[in-house]
């Protein structure tokens, strides 16, 4: 994958930085504290740790002194896993989206945004001051129409698997719409990576020969059980974000210990056993609730926030913790319980939950 047409603008931006001697590239980690005069590890705590694995603290932003071997190993593993040239690790999915969107988009740009996009995507778009055109959830025709407006650059920002609704856009069609308008496609796979798509590599990997998205975001804090996130794509994207994503430049790097743990989890995904288990439990849960489809998140929309809280309380009395999701996380009058199956559940756990749901079903009746 070379620089996609919609991201070609990154190349002259990088050339301009290079010409001014302002281009930063990842530095080789320094050997120890005695030779470093730029770390924020003021008390020398990081260097006092047993580094058999990796230190807990990065000690500085990665650009300054906080770039560790563990980051490089994680990014290499992530890029290979999602089959992209590079992946840049961030401290959280929120930081990844806010930093990347604010860096990539500008006030002369148009960005078409799904109505149910996550707050971190919304905040990143707002911060960029691009013209944001919100389209109804998963509405392809509205997306195509919105892309017709003139702008310096055009973007489509969406999620591949919506964490509150358990549904997905048609990524291949979105790709086609973007190509027709020279737009870049930015896809947040927070709830998909690790579980959905070929070998759990996400839904972009399943669509349009792995090239559905120009930019793929994944979190390490959900299916991968660690913390942090990554933004994957072409080399130019990595270099640009390294220099321009402010949540990367001006923030202490991801904990190297966490990066190392996430790399280990990635290495265990190959067998697919846990993925198989979580999808099997979700299917059991979904079928038990007489819903359709297959995913590992099962939303049950109950309507008012009060009803959702009542349902939460009644399930809690029966020993099940299922938090009520209320506005502004979801639109008004679509408060819900959000069930997430896990490979750690047994079939008996699901049966017990289903029978508790049966007992409290009056909460869900409209």
Q: Which residues bind ligand PLP (CB under 6 A)?
A: 92-94, 97, 118, 120, 159, 163, 188, 190-191, 219, 221, 229
For residue 293, is it left (φ>0), alpha (ψ between -120 and 50) or beta?
left
Chain residue whose CB lies nearest ligand PLP: 93
118 or 275: whose CB is closer to ligand PLP?
118
The least CB distance from residue 192 to ligand PLP, in Å, is 9
93 or 200: whose CB is closer to ligand PLP?
93
Cβ(298)–Cβ(166) below 8 Å: yes
Cβ neighbours for 204, distance < 8 A, ≥ 6 positions apart: 82, 160, 171, 187, 189, 197, 210, 212, 213, 216
The least CB distance from residue 113 to ligand PLP, in Å, is 12
**Cis omega before residue 328 (within 30°)?**
yes
Q: Which of 306, 319, 312, 305 is nearest to 349 (CA)?
A: 319
The least CB distance from residue 262 to ligand PLP, in Å, is 12
231 or 353: whose CB is closer to ligand PLP?
231
41 or 159: whose CB is closer to ligand PLP?
159
The least CB distance from residue 301 to ligand PLP, in Å, is 17
The least CB distance from residue 219 to ligand PLP, in Å, is 4
Q: What is the dihedral of CA 213, 225, 90, 47, to 10 degrees?
A: -150
The least CB distance from residue 281 to ligand PLP, in Å, is 20
The tokens for 197 are 């798509």
Residue 335 to residue 327: CA distance in whole angstroms: 7
Cβ(234)–Cβ(33) below 8 Å: no
243 or 340: whose CB is closer to ligand PLP?
340
210 or 340: whose CB is closer to ligand PLP?
340
């Amino acid at each position: 994958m070379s620089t996609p047409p919609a991201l070609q603008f990154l190349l002259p931006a990088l050339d301009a930085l290079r010409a001014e001697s302002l281009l930063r590239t990842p530095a080789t980690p320094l050997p120890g504290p005695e030779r470093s005069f730029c770390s924020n590890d003021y008390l020398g705590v990081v260097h006092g740790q047993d580094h058999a694995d990796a230190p807990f603290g990065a000690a500085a932003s990665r650009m300054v002194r906080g770039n560790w071997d563990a980051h490089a190993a994680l990014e290499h593993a992530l890029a290979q896993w999602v089959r992209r040239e590079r992946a840049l690790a961030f401290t959280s999915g929120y930081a990844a989206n806010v930093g990347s969107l604010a860096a990539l988009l500008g006030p002369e740009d148009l960005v078409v945004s799904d109505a149910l996009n996550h707050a971190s995507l919304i905040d990143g778009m707002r911060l960029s001051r691009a013209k944001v055109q919100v389209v109804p959830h998963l509405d392809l025709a509205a997306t195509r129409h919105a892309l017709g407006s003139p702008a310096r650059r055009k973007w489509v920002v969406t999620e591949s698997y919506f964490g509150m609704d358990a549904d997905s856009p048609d990524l291949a069609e979105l790709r086609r719409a973007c190509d027709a308008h020279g737009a870049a496609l930015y896809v947040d796979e927070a709830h998909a990576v690790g579980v959905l798509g070929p070998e759990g590599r996400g839904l972009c990997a399943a669509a349009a020969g792995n090239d559905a998205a120009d930019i793929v975001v994944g979190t390490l804090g959900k299916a991968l059980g660690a913390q942090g996130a990554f933004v994957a794509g072409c080399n130019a994207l990595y270099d640009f974000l390294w220099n321009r994503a402010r949540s990367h430049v001006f923030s202490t790097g991801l904990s190297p210990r966490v990066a190392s743990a996430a790399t280990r989890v990635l290495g265990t995904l190959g067998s697919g056993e846990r993925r198989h288990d979580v999808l099997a439990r979700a299917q059991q849960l979904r079928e038990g609730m007489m819903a359709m489809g297959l995913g590992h998140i099962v939303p049950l929309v109950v309507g008012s926030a009060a009803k959702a809280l009542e349902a939460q309380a009644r399930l809690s009395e029966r020993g099940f913790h299922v938090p009520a999701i209320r506005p502004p996380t979801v639109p008004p009058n679509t408060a819900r319980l959000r069930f997430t199956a896990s490979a750690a559940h047994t079939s008996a756990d699901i049966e017990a939950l289903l029978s508790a749901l049966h007992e409290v079903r009056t909460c869900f009746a409209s």
